[in-house]
Amino acid sequence: MTVAPQSTNQNPITQAAAVVDLGLSACEAYGRDDLAGRLAAAKRSLTDPSVHIVVVGEFKQGKSSLVNALVGAKVCPVDDDVATALPTYLRHGDEPAAELIFEGDPPRREPVELKDIERWIVEDDPTPRTTGVVSAPATVREEQPRPAGVEVRLPRRLLAGGLVLVDTPGVGGLGSAHSTASLAASSMADALLFVTDASQELTRSELDFLAQARQMCPTVVCVQTKTDFYPAWRKVRDLNQAHLTAAGTDIPIIPVSSTLRSRAVAANDTDLNNESGFPELISFIRDRVRGDATTRLASEAAAGVVAVAEQIISQFESEKAALADPAAAQQVVAQLTQVKERVEALKSAAARWSQTLSDGIADLTSDVEHDLKNRIREVIAEADRAMEDTDPADTWAEMQSWLESTVAGEMLANYTLLRDRATALSEQVGQHFQEASGEVLRQFPVFNPTPLAGSVDVDHNIDLEKMKVGKQAMVALKSAYGGAIMFVMIGLMTGITLGPIALGIGVIMGRKGLRDEKKKQVAARQQQAKNAVRRYCDQVSFVMGKDSRDTLRRIQRELRDHYTALAEELNRSNAEALRSATEATKSTQAERDKRIKDLDAELTRLRQLKQRAEAVTAG
């Protein structure tokens, strides 16, 4: 095994990939295929480092145009009226290609002609989405499933290196169910481009969305579009900057014109490109967004190499200790035997961390369920109260959208509870594992499990130390929760209707008995509406409850697998050390001297590897 001189000034991904390769060959050289498995996973995530940039904003602010201008191609449909209805994922590919993505596990994919995607992306019926998202009635949907998204591959330099640009449907208004769904989806993003045009200041609903998004996503930037068209864009930008500062956020504003950029690209006009404001946006994406994400990914992978190196180093060091001083060798063996027992205890179901995990998941499941139940009960009570003094014939449409958005909000809160508690539990389990392993861990540091993450993930800002345990939970959380489930929920409401409104226009007949008759009809409609609300809430509770139970089960499994494997690794390292130490007691002086020399050489290499990996970790 050799270590090539370290070249600075290189892409962190390439650097990380290089140390991971070295780590892999070390594992192979020392026969540690168990450790190699982990590094192989880290390597996979390095070769496909997806960095998701999600473009969000209210209707018609210029999201699709922005995405098109960024890649310099007309991919996303742009129109004065018809709106984007499906999320579109743009990623790198050697040839232009497109696929429809259908819901499923794993999602089903279906190739489609690039020129035909427009038909899928835009809404088939451009009636305004007044109650969240209009989706086809359940029956129609079953016959002809609507894709959940469209993926487009383009040979563009900007996209190389794993950048994925996501164009999304416009969000309609304050606290709508749809905007909650976008928020949930944005928690999965590496960065959020919030699009608002220069025609006016940010509105209350936009500012609220931004403030919330800032909590969910590490990098948020406000892109002000259409600067070519609005003479007062500088004034609007300054006003917005003041609003953002007043709201206590550090979100930067980048003013751009997609129209100028597209022209500049077509005419290869550098000056015009500079006028468009895109160079600033692109360098922001390159340096801040992709830079941050790749640095993070690289340092996670490198941290894995550090841990692998450390395990093998400590194994070799105990062997060396046994070899160097045959008198002490017995003691080393005794120590290692003791460690062996501990490690074995660590593996058993009776281990404290394992207990903590089972109990914790059980508690969490019931707490989350309880929380959801309470929330839904509150919503129903509020809906009932609201219906007391209105006539659903007039207010049902509003009631529907209110219900959708309130329920979505409560779901998000319930999800946040689950996420926070699961993270805390994961940390606690790690703590107990660490405590119980005590000495063992001091010798064999806990392997950082993050490379398992495989792709982009939530909560990048927790430091590496915390990620040891915290991230585990997030992997499972991400795969189950959030955006997807939210969008499913929104669809549910459309299935529920009030039934025909049996309202005569009897008022025209004169006034006798009119008031009584009217009251009776209103009361009947109120009952109908209350039932419909309950039906919807039942459905939501059912889907959501099942989803959170599944998610928790998956978290439990992942944590258990992770720590069991860790114990196994430690066991193996220990066993190797024990074996060599025992051998050492039996070997001759000459054999020992030779082995010590070998070990020293290996240790030097391993330390170099570790150092080099640490350099990548430090960024």
Partner 1 sequence: MNLLDRTRSVLDRARQLYRGTGHEPRLAEMGERLDEPLRVAIAGRVKAGKSTLLNALVADRLAPTDAGECTRIVTWYQDGHTYQVTAHPRGEQPRQLRFHRDAGAIEVDLNGLAPEKVTSLTVTWPSQALRTATLIDTPGIGSLSDQVAGRAFELLAPEDEETPADAVLYLLRHLHRNDLDFLRAFHDTEVSQPNPVNAIGILSRADEIGVGRLDSVASARRIATRMAADPNVRRVVQTVVPVAGLLAETAATLTESEVAQLRKVAELPVREAESLLLSADRFVQQMPELGLTSIEREALLARFGMYGVRLVISMMRHKVATTATELAAELTDRSGISDLREVLSSLFFERRDVLKSRSALLALDRLTRTEPRSGSEAVAAEVEEIIASAHPFRELQVLSAIRAGWVTGKPDVVAELERLIGGAGAATPLRLGLPADADDPTVAAAAGDALARWQRRAENPLTGHELAIAARVAIRSCEGMLAALQERR
Largest Cα span, the chain: 118
Q: How many Cα atoms sit within 13 Å of 241 on the Cβ side?
A: 10
- Residue 289: count other Cβ atoms within 10 Å of its Cβ: 22
Pick from 60, 478, 562, 612 the residue near ligand GTP by CB under 6 A. 60
Choose the one of ligand GTP, Mg ion, partner 1, none that binds residue 207, judging by a C-beta under 5 to 8 angstroms depending on kind: partner 1
Residue 455: both structure tokens together:
């792709």
Q: Give strand pairing partners of 51.
A: 163
Fill in the per-residue mask, 4 to 43: x = in contact with Mg ion (CB under 5 A), - = not in contact.
Answer: ----------------------------------------
Percent helix, strand and coil across the chain, each to the nearest 5: 65, 10, 25
Least separation in angstroms between CB 209 and Mg ion: 17
What is the rounded distance in angstroms from the CA atom of residue 397 to the CA atom of residue 497?
10
Least separation in angstroms between CB 75 and Mg ion: 11
64 binds Mg ion (CB under 5 A): yes
123 binds ligand GTP (CB under 6 A): no
Residue 510 φ then ψ, to 5°:
125, 180
**Sole window of 37-45, 56-64, 279-287, 417-425 interacting with ligand GTP (rule: CB under 6 A):** 56-64
Closer residue to ligand GTP (CB): 84 or 423: 84
Least separation in angstroms between CB 285 and ligand GTP: 17
Determine how β-strand 108-112 pairs with β-strand 97-102: antiparallel
**Sole window of 45-53, 64-72, 138-146, 467-475 interacting with Mg ion (rule: CB under 5 A):** 64-72
Closer residue to partner 1 (CB): 184 or 272: 272
What element of type H or E holds 111?
strand 108-112
Fill in the per-residue mask, 258 to 297: x = in contact with ligand GTP (CB under 6 A), - = not in contact.
Answer: xx--------------------------------------
Q: Are 417 and 371 in contact (CB under 8 A)?
A: yes
Residue 246: both structure tokens together:
């007043």
Interface with ligand GTP in residues 69-88 (CB under 6 A): 78-80, 83-84
Fill in the per-residue mask, 75 to 104: x = in contact with Mg ion (CB under 5 A), - = not in contact.
Answer: ---------x--------------------
CA atoms 590, 592, 598, 603: torsion sign? negative
Residue 469: both structure tokens together:
């345990």
Residue bearing tokens 């450790």:
35
Residue bearing tokens 């994919």:
109
Give 507's DSSP letter. G
What is the rounded distance in angstroms from the CA atom of residue 305 to the CA atom of residue 297?
13
204 binds ligand GTP (CB under 6 A): no
End-to-end CA distance of the chain: 24
Residue 85: both structure tokens together:
């209805």
Q: Which residues of the chain form contacts with partner 1 (CB under 8 A)? A: 58-60, 62, 80-81, 126-128, 130, 172-174, 176, 199-205, 207, 226-233, 235-236, 239, 243, 257, 259-260, 263, 272, 275, 391, 393-395, 397-398, 401, 501, 503-511, 514, 518
Interface with ligand GTP in residues 226-255 (CB under 6 A): 226, 228-229
Closer residue to ligand GTP (CB): 259 or 434: 259
Closest CA to 390 of 400, 381, 399, 379: 399
Q: Are 102 and 110 in contact (CB under 8 A)?
A: yes
Fill in the per-residue mask, 129 to 168: x = in contact with ligand GTP (CB under 6 A), - = not in contact.
Answer: ----------------------------------------
Closer residue to ligand GTP (CB): 80 or 142: 80
Closer residue to ligand GTP (CB): 196 or 494: 196
64 binds ligand GTP (CB under 6 A): yes
What is the rounded distance in angstroms from the CA atom of residue 399 to the CA atom of residue 537?
13
Closer residue to partner 1 (CB): 401 or 423: 401
Least separation in angstroms between CB 49 and ligand GTP: 27
65 binds Mg ion (CB under 5 A): no
Q: Are 154 and 89 in contact (CB under 8 A)?
A: no
CA dihedral 136, 141, 143, 144 (to 10 degrees): 90
Closer residue to Mg ion (CB): 87 or 445: 87
Pick from 59, 103, 317, 352 the residue near ligand GTP by CB under 6 A. 59
Least separation in angstroms between CB 171 and partner 1: 10
Least separation in angstroms between CB 505 and partner 1: 4
10 torsion bin: left (phi>0), alpha (psi -120 to 50), beta (else):
beta
Least separation in angstroms between CB 415 and Mg ion: 27
What is the rounded distance in angstroms from the CA atom of residue 75 to the CA atom of residue 152?
8
Closest CA to 387 of 530, 237, 203: 530
Residues in contact with ligand GTP by CB under 6 A are 57, 59-65, 78-80, 83-84, 170, 225-226, 228-229, 257-259
Residues in contact with Mg ion by CB under 5 A are 63-64, 84
